[in-house]
Structure 1
Amino acid sequence: MKLDNAVVFITGANRGLGLAFAKAALARGARKVYAAARDPASVTLPGVIPVKLDVTDPDDVARVAAECADVTLLVNNAGIANTGGFLAPDGLASTRAHLETNFFGPLMLSQAFAGALAANGGGGIVNVLSVVSWINSPLLGVYSASKTAAWGLTNGLRHELREQKTQVLGLHVGFIDTDMTRGFEAPKTPPEVVVARTLDALEAGDEEVRADEFTEQVKQGLSAEPGIYLLAPGF
């Protein structure tokens, strides 16, 4: 789908990757950009419409879907990323928190906006995933599992929404240079680069984008023997 004249709804749009999505959508000619955040006062980008949204709150999700029924592109960007594995003392609580935001949030929003997208010609959904959708380590164990679940959600939505001509694009990427990855000593891709590659893929009609070299390497390694997901990724 094309960004020109699109109506875009972006979750977690007050900072980091979400803010970069909002800026790029405006630059590519979007007619309207809804910038959603828990605190709409934190959305300060000129030209967007701040929207109050907690992606884990069903009432919030239902309200924004009713108020923003002209949406043609949903960007499920909001997420949490805490370190720790499943056997940590807070492993169970952390797993539930990650799934609430990173899996059930995009699920509820996709369900809520599917009808509007169909009514508006099909449109598209971008789900922000991760290279750790495919690999796991104790440092990011719980976060990785939530993104693996979101990858499965993305694949399922793609098939369910194809008949109504809704394009579903999964974004896989490694570390992005935002405040969320502060403290990680690893190569990082600027958010503007990630967004440009994602929107280029969207406009080309693609269903998956791998936004950095490391992610490309990991994807190729999934079919290796032993599979790359059986090896420690080094973080």
Structure 2
Amino acid sequence: MSAGRRTPVTGSTVVVTGANRGIGLAFVQEALAAGAAKVYAGVRDVGDVTDELVATGAEIVALDVVDRAQVQAAARTCSDATVLINNAGLFTGNRLVQADDPDAARREMEVNYFGPLETTRAFAPVISANGGGAIVNVLSVAAIAPTAFMGGYSTSKAAALYLGGIARAELEPMDVGVTSLIVGSVETRMAAHVDGQKEDPRDVARIGLKAMSRGDWTCDTDRMAIDSRARMARDPIRYERGLGKLLFVDQLVTKP
């Protein structure tokens, strides 16, 4: 199988957005465990940092992905970056068409699509100037299948999936690779409303970094992601209809 640019974690300088907890924190931990030379942990509020993040020893950086000036300032601060992990995300829990909050989908698009676009624009020249490297976009099963119970989130992650492919084509001459991660249900605050089996964030981060190091364009990081892609391929109408029915259940439960 052909692959893109291979970027080892060892010796790299990594920037992680949304690093305070969950998958972002896991990427900080796993990058350091894998031998990264330095990790910058991007957070929206440097005055509200979790003890777990502080304990990693990562350098804390103010990085709100919807604040263009702050993104550009972070790119100047992290001028030695060779890897960018676009992890920051927002799920509002609203429907898309029949939304209680008609502005919810716009906020999700701002964080989940325009945020990675801003950080990619800001950091790609930095990474290229440092000899090349990689950008990793943390996406979702909801990016590859219309997921009605995550309406605005699903559409924003689908947009971010296409962002990764287009950015890859533009940035290849700059020696910057792009890896898109398709992630299932993970044990994070975002998935607190879901019962059943959920992945360990550190497992997802570990697999994601390995995919980057192999030069993978896209990586399904866990059982749910792999199974969802297979079900979409076998019978997309049945699969999408099943996802639609989840709009009307009292409690979401993942299958073992």
TM-score of Structure 1 vs Structure 2, range by shorter chain: over 0.9
What's the counterpart of residue 220 of structure 1? 230
What displacement does 1:169 show? 0.5
CA distance in 1, matches of 2:145, 2:101: 18
What's the counterpart of residue 14 of structure 1? 20
Contact 2:28 2:56 in 1 (8 A): no
1:49 aligns with 2:28: no
SS at match of 1:45: helix
CA displacement, residues 5-36 of structure 1 (integer Å, 9 cap, x when unaligned): 10000001111111010011111111110001
In the TM superposition, what are the counterparts of 1:28-67 in structure 2 within 5 Å? 28-41=34-47, 42=49, 43-67=53-77
Question: Which of 73, 77, 96 is matched with 1:86 structurally?
Answer: 96
CA distance in 1, matches of 2:154, 2:177: 24
Q: What amino acid maps onto 1:18 in structure 2?
A: G
Contact 1:84 1:138 in 2 (8 A): no
Question: Which of 97, 114, 117 is matched with 1:107 structurally?
Answer: 117
SS at match of 1:132: helix
Contact 1:221 1:227 in 2 (8 A): no
Contact 1:122 1:166 in 2 (8 A): yes
CA displacement, residues 160-189 of structure 1 (integer Å, 9 cap, x when unaligned): 111222111101011101122112124211
Contact 2:147 2:240 in 1 (8 A): no
Contact 2:26 2:202 in 1 (8 A): yes
User: Alpha carbon RMSD of aligned pairs, Å?
Assistant: 1.6
CA displacement, residues 119-149 of structure 1 (integer Å, 9 cap, x when unaligned): 1111000000000101233321111111111
CA distance in 2, matches of 1:188, 1:221: 19
Given the superposition, is the C-alpha separation of residues 89 and 194 from structure 1 closer, same or farther in structure 2, using an over 3 Å criterion?
A: closer
What displacement does 1:225 show? 4.1
What displacement does 1:228 show? 5.6
What displacement does 1:229 show? 5.5
Gaps of 5+ in 2: 1-6, 247-251
Number of residue pairs matched by the alignment? 235
Question: Which of 4, 7, 10 is matched with 1:4 structurally?
Answer: 10
Percentage identity across aligned positions?
A: 37
CA displacement, residues 174-224 of structure 1 (integer Å, 9 cap, x when unaligned): 110112211212421110111111111111221111011221122223333
Question: Which of 142, 146, 149 is matched with 2:152 structurally?
Answer: 142
Higher RCO (CA 8 Å, separation ≥ 6 residues): 2
